[in-house]
Amino acid sequence: MGRKVKPRTYDSSGRQAQAKATQAMIVRCARDLFIEHGYGHTTIADIARAAGVSVETIYGVFGNKATLLHRAWDITVGGDDEDVVFHERPEVVEIRNEPDLAKRLMLHAAFSTKTAQRIGPFQLMVQSAAGADPAAAAMLDEMGRQRLAGMTVMAAEAAKTGQLAVREDECRDLIWATTDGVLWHRLVTERQWTNDQYAEWLGRMWVQLLVQPASSRRVR
């Protein structure tokens, strides 16, 4: 009798990895084109051509350009395509765990400056498109809500240190208002500050406005 031949098992992991890489390439190309040419002036055909795929592939995976805008924001704010909430990313958790509030805010300012280099151009692009495009307007609102959720967590944890000089909601709103990327664009891109200069100024401003002087803190 002949040997029994074991049936081959199909390993789809390689195909899945390739599909994921293709999707990531499409999203990156979409983001770059949106920023370079504007959301309204970028077509699915433009994105397909840049990514080296068919228009049908993009529609089959993403459905429409608005979904691509959302995905482009996800990789812009996080710096990658990992599905992790921003304020739960390891580098942000490390900042949140700093017990000294002044040091925490200086670390946060440095990190915010780093992310602003990605977020600023994207924010300005969405703002420019929001007046004429409902999808861009909805995206702009969503970006604000996401940042507000993150700053709500940061402010609540700042309040728990007992070192906060203002109300928790005031802390939240001030940090939220100064981390949308537009302020960075104004001072670094337009006024030609260095990123180090901007991070130092932002952190010092936060510390001055938000942190109680050590001499006035209650002893626990």
Q: Which of 82, 106, 121 is the last residue of a domain?
A: 82
List the Cα angle 83/87/91 in 5-degree steps: 90
Are 94 and 199 in a shared domain?
yes
Counted domains in the chain: 2
Residue 214's pLDDT is what? 78
Task: Supply the range of the domain harboring residue 31.
Answer: 13-82
Spatial distance between the Cα atoms of 139 and 144, rounded to a whole number of angstroms: 9
Are 203 and 190 in a shared domain?
yes
Closest alpha carbon to 175 in 159, 193, 196, 162:
159
169-193 pLDDT tens trace? 999 999 999 998 889 999 999 999 9
Residue 12 confidence (pLDDT) above 90: no
220 assigned to some structural domain: no
CATH of the domain at 20: 1.10.357.10
Closest alpha carbon to 156 in 112, 101, 107:
101
Are 119 and 188 in a shared domain?
yes
